[in-house]
Amino acid sequence: MLRAWLPSPPVYDGLVLPQQPYDYVSPPPNLSSSNVQPSSGEATFPVQNGKVAGGGVETDDRQAIAFFGLDAVHVSASAVSVKLRIDPVTNPPPWPAGWQIHGNVYKFSGVEQPSGAPAAVTSFQITLRYPPGPFQSLWFYDGTTWHELSTKKAPNGDPFAGATLTAFGEAGAGAPRGAQGDTIITILARLAETYGLLAFIIVFGVVAVVQEIRRRRKKA
């Protein structure tokens, strides 16, 4: 299930609170003055009886998260632990024709300790947060080619998406080139999906207030 590994946004009285601004590696021009550079993250897992314990790694800003199951990471017989990292990529590979990057690209990697040799992995789950605007799917770069991933979006319009990787490498969110961002219609539709009846109450309440103001002005 998606909910088992997607991060839960802050909740107050059952309502999803607004997310903090997205941290870009290369922000849009209108956000360059206020942008904060994205964070990295790392965690060290012990090797027990030749197997690497499972667990999660996340960046400090929680824009990228990875979860590894028991024995998903493979190391040599001399390894005593493995260090797993997530790092924003400052110069990502060019995207395929017809596609554009949407947000940041992150590198997922693992090295044995104490040798520093690269670790191998069979599969692990990632969750990436994406910024406002068009988004379609997550992509993986294997060192040569980008591959579109089977992507699961978080429910209720939360800006997170998840996928399964079968190797260490780089991953990011993508959108068709030239795709448009949210319109007022899509925003209202997402509000209705997220907040249900509350959204409609707010909308109709605003309409009622506006009509009452107009009625009083006419009487005056």
What is the pLDDT, as a whole number, of residue 53? 85
> Which residue do the tokens 């667990």 mark?
55
- Assign 101 a pLDDT band (cuts: 50, 70, 90): very high
Mean pLDDT, range 49-62, rounded to an integer: 91
What is the pLDDT, as a whole number, of residue 8? 44
Q: What is the 3-state secondary structure (H, E, C) of the chain?
A: CHHHCCCCCCEECCEECCCCCCCCCCCCHHHCCCCCCCCCEEEEEEEECCEECCEEEECCCCCEEEEECCCCEECCCCCCEEEEEEEECCCCCCCCCCEEEEEEEEEEEEEEECCCCECEECCEEEEEECCCCCCCEEEEECCCCEEECCCEECHHHCCEEEEEECCCEEEEEEEECCCCCCCHHHHHHHHHHHHCHHHHHHHHHHHHHHHHHHHHHHHC
Q: What is the model's pTM?
A: 0.76
Question: How many Cβ atoms are within 10 Å of 49's Cβ, its own excluded?
Answer: 5
Which pair of tokens denotes residue 52? 């690497």
Mean pLDDT, range 180-209, rounded to an integer: 54
User: What does the domain layout of the chain look like in residue ranges?
Assistant: 2-176, 184-219
- pLDDT > 80? residue 121: yes
- Assign 9 a pLDDT band (cuts: 50, 70, 90): very low
- Assign 188 a pLDDT band (cuts: 50, 70, 90): low
What is the pLDDT, as a whole number, of residue 180? 59
CATH of 2-176, one of 3.20.20, 2.40.30, 3.40.50, 2.60.220: 2.60.220
Mean pLDDT, range 24-34, rounded to an integer: 93
pLDDT digits (tens, 9 = 90+) for 58-70: 999 999 999 999 9
